[in-house]
Amino acid sequence: MVVRDDHARVLVLAGGSGTRLWPLSTDARPKPFLPLASDHTLLEDTFARARRVVEAEHVYFSARDTHAPLLRKTLPAVPEENLILEPERRNTAPAIGLSAAVIGAHDPGAVLAVLPSDQAVKDEEAFTAGLRFAVEAALAEEAFVTLGILPTRPETGYGYLETAEGEGGPVRKVVRFVEKPTREKAEEFLSSGCFLWNAGIFVFRVSVLFAEMERQCPDILHAVQEAARERRKGNMEGFRSAFALARKISIDYAVMENARAVKTVPCSCGWSDLGSWDAVWEYRAGSGASNVLRGQAEIGGGERSLVFASGRPVKVLGLDDVIVVDSEDGVLVTRRDASDLLRESVEADMKRRAG
């Protein structure tokens, strides 16, 4: 049962690149287009998630124009007017601002729920309940309402939302955004009960976003509003040059961290950002902490490993805690906890190609 309000919209962020999931993720096929959490792509999983909260016709997609063919192929049922394509990658503040301007022009009362599509959720029921609640809260209040993931471990790879002490209700006030903490801090956060993971999922009235942008980053607001106007007129040249004036900055830095009213709905839904191969293994292996296999993959005499084959047989013998991924673009073999080495290696390749 979807939210009973004609103003509710979901905006799926279908962009992003990713050096951390080489050799599957590439510039031509970024993470949302990979089947990492299920046998469907993350984008399809996210679309299904969105349709549990609003009608399909109210799900919009923010994506790079170069990925439009892949997006149309992946989700053929989505109408063309629901694709909000960027002529270049300028980070999330311009992308979300443009989408809000496009959608807000049709419906100034619209409420947007932003859903990144490079994440996974195990307990869809709990997620849906949390997101519906956040949408209802954003319809009722002049605030950004984020989904705050209840932490299950002292994670140092995520940002956190700090809530006021003593608040225990289903909608809590966010007093501070906290960057990725040290291990010590992360353990404090976990035991305090006041900290939630920032999943980048949040809901707002477009009027609330515009007011905060006017206050905090009017340059970006004016650029994306001008771009949306040119787009409506069908002037794609004007659209491109207006959008090019929007500063490259994330929505967290540009708006959220200093917004006057930010609330959060705590949610415990088996969420993962799938931010590394180790995270993909952990998400797929679950509490059994077993081996994860795809395709003609074989593990002999080994535990706690992920092996993705593609086309050819892959044998992994006598090794524990490894990631092995075979694709047309290359073969990765790594210790599960060595994601930093992968990032360094892929970045070195990119520099070599550029230089």
Q: How far is the CB of 175 from a second copy (least distance, A)?
A: 39
Structure letter (DSSP) for residue 337: T
By CB under 8 A, what part of segment 249-308 binds a second copy? 296, 298, 300-301
Nearer to a second copy, 147 or 309 (CB): 309
Cis status of the peptide bond prior to 23, with omega within 30 of 0? yes
- Cβ proximity of 273 and 36 under 8 Å: no
Q: Comparing C-alpha atoms, which of 155, 156, 166, 157 is closest to residue 194?
A: 166
Q: How far is the CB of 300 from a second copy (least distance, A)?
A: 5
Residues 308, 331: Cα–Cα separation, whole Å: 10
Q: How far is the CB of 184 from a second copy (least distance, A)?
A: 25
Q: Is 354 in the site for a second copy (CB under 8 A)?
A: no
Residues 77, 58: Cα–Cα separation, whole Å: 13
Stretch that binds a second copy, among 158-166, 186-194, 239-247, 313-321 (CB under 8 A): 313-321
Distant-in-sequence, close-in-space partners of 138: CB < 8 Å, separation ≥ 6: 111, 113, 144, 145, 203, 204, 205, 208
CB-based burial label for 199 (10 Å; 0-12, 13-18, 19+): buried
Q: How far is the CB of 61 from a second copy (least distance, A)?
A: 32
Q: Which of 318, 347, 351, 355 binds a second copy (CB under 8 A)?
A: 318
Q: Is 313 in the site for a second copy (CB under 8 A)?
A: yes
Residues 3, 50: Cα–Cα separation, whole Å: 11
Q: How many residues bind a second copy (CB under 8 A)?
A: 33
Stretch that binds a second copy, among 86-94, 114-122, 220-228, 342-350 (CB under 8 A): 342-350
Q: How far is the CB of 110 from a second copy (least distance, A)?
A: 45
From residue 236, how far is each of 225, 227, 325 by CA, in Å?
14, 9, 40
Q: Is 326 in the site for a second copy (CB under 8 A)?
A: yes
Q: Is 316 in the site for a second copy (CB under 8 A)?
A: yes
Q: Is 22 in the site for a second copy (CB under 8 A)?
A: yes
- Cβ proximity of 84 and 227 under 8 Å: no
Stretch that binds a second copy, among 109-117, 135-143, 226-234, 339-347 (CB under 8 A): 339-347
Distant-in-sequence, close-in-space partners of 40: CB < 8 Å, separation ≥ 6: 48
Q: Which of 27, 331, 347, 350 binds a second copy (CB under 8 A)?
A: 331
Q: Which of 39, 165, 237, 328 binds a second copy (CB under 8 A)?
A: 328
3-state helix, strand, coil in the chain (%, to 5): 40, 25, 35
Q: Is 337 in the site for a second copy (CB under 8 A)?
A: yes
Q: Is 115 in the site for a second copy (CB under 8 A)?
A: no
Q: Footprint of a second copy on this chain (CB under 8 A)?
A: 22-23, 296, 298, 300-301, 309, 312-319, 322, 324, 326, 328-335, 337-338, 341-342, 344-345, 349
